[in-house]
Each structure stands twice: as C-alpha cells, then as structure tokens.
C-alpha cells in the first residue's frame, strides 16, 4: 500500500499526533516503505492456519470481583500535570451556554 499525504494526515489524527506539512512529507514515504515491506507476508498461504493472539494460547485469567487495591488518589495525583480538588484538570470541553 502506498500512502498519500492525506492518508498520513488521517492516520495521525486517529493516533492523536500533531503533524506539520514537513512531518507529513517526512513520514509518508517511510510509512509506505514499511507497509510494502510487511506485505511480503501475503506471499504465503495461511488459509489453513488459525490466528495466534497469545503464544501459549492462554486466555486472560479472571479473578473474583473483590477490592484488592488501596485508595492512593493523592500519590497518583501528585504526579499529574494539573489537578484541583482531587480532579484532573483539562481544557474546557463543553462551552458555556450563551
């Protein structure tokens, strides 16, 4: 797959990455090359093979729904960029009504 600048712009948005026009020009051929490279795997017939998600074929373990962790809100919020009254602060998402 050869990606266009518009494709890369869209992927960057999906991945929440900011990309200048220069960045797009830098990454577009690199990402296309990587995709061409990985497409080698289409050479082989895998119609008879089950996909492998876990190398040991184990599924995720479940556990009883019991509280095991103590509340460490203060310790966790000490390393946050911005908090107030126990809440994480981010720029306003919903505008005030006019």
Partner 1 sequence: MKTVAELSRDLASKKISSVELTKHYLDRIKKFDKTLNAFITVTEDQALENAKKADEKRAKSAAGPLTGIPLAQKDIFCTLGVKTTCGSKILDNFISPYDATTVQKFNDAGLVLLGKTNMDEFAMGSSNENSFYGPVKNPWDLERVPGGSSGGSAATVAAGLAPAATGTDTGGSIRQPAALCGITGLKPTYGRVSRYGMIAFASSLDQGGLMTRSAEDAALLLNVMAGFDEKDSTSVDKPVPDYTKKLNNSIKGLRIGLPSEFFNQGLDADVAKVVQAAIKEYEKLGASVHEIHLPNTKLSIPAYYVIAPAECSSNLARFDGVRYGYRCKNPQDLEDLYKRSRSEGFGAEVKRRIMIGTYALSAGYYDAYYLQAQKVRGLIRQDFSKAFEKVDVILGPTSPTTAFKIGEKTADPISMYLSDIYTIAVNLAGLPGMSIPCGFAKNLPVGLQLIGNLFSEEQLLTAAHNYQKVTDWHTKQPEGF
Provide the binding-site residues for partner 1, judged by CB under 8 A.
3, 7-8, 11-12, 14-19, 27, 30-31, 33-35, 37-44, 46, 49-56, 58, 60-61, 63, 72, 75-76, 78-82, 88, 90-93
Question: Token pair of 78, please?
Answer: 């000490």
Q: How near is the Cβ of 85 to partner 1 at its closest, in Å?
A: 16
CB 5 within 8 A of CB 25: yes
Please report where in the chains the tokens 């080698």 appear, as a residue: 40
| CB of residue 98 to partner 1, shortest distance in Å | 18
Q: Which helix (H) or strand (E) holds 83?
A: strand 83-84
CB of 17 to partner 1, least distance (A): 5
């Amino acid at each position: 797959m050869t990606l266009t600048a518009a494709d890369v712009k869209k992927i960057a948005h999906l991945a929440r990455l900011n990309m200048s026009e220069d960045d797009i020009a830098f990454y577009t051929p690199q990402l296309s090359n990587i995709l061409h490279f990985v497409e080698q795997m289409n050479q082989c017939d895998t119609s008879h093979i089950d996909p492998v998600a876990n190398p040991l074929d184990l599924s995720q373990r479940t556990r009883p729904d019991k509280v095991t962790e103590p509340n460490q809100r203060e310790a966790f919020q000490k390393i946050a960029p911005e908090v107030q009254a126990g809440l994480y602060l981010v720029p306003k998402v919903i505008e005030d009504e006019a």
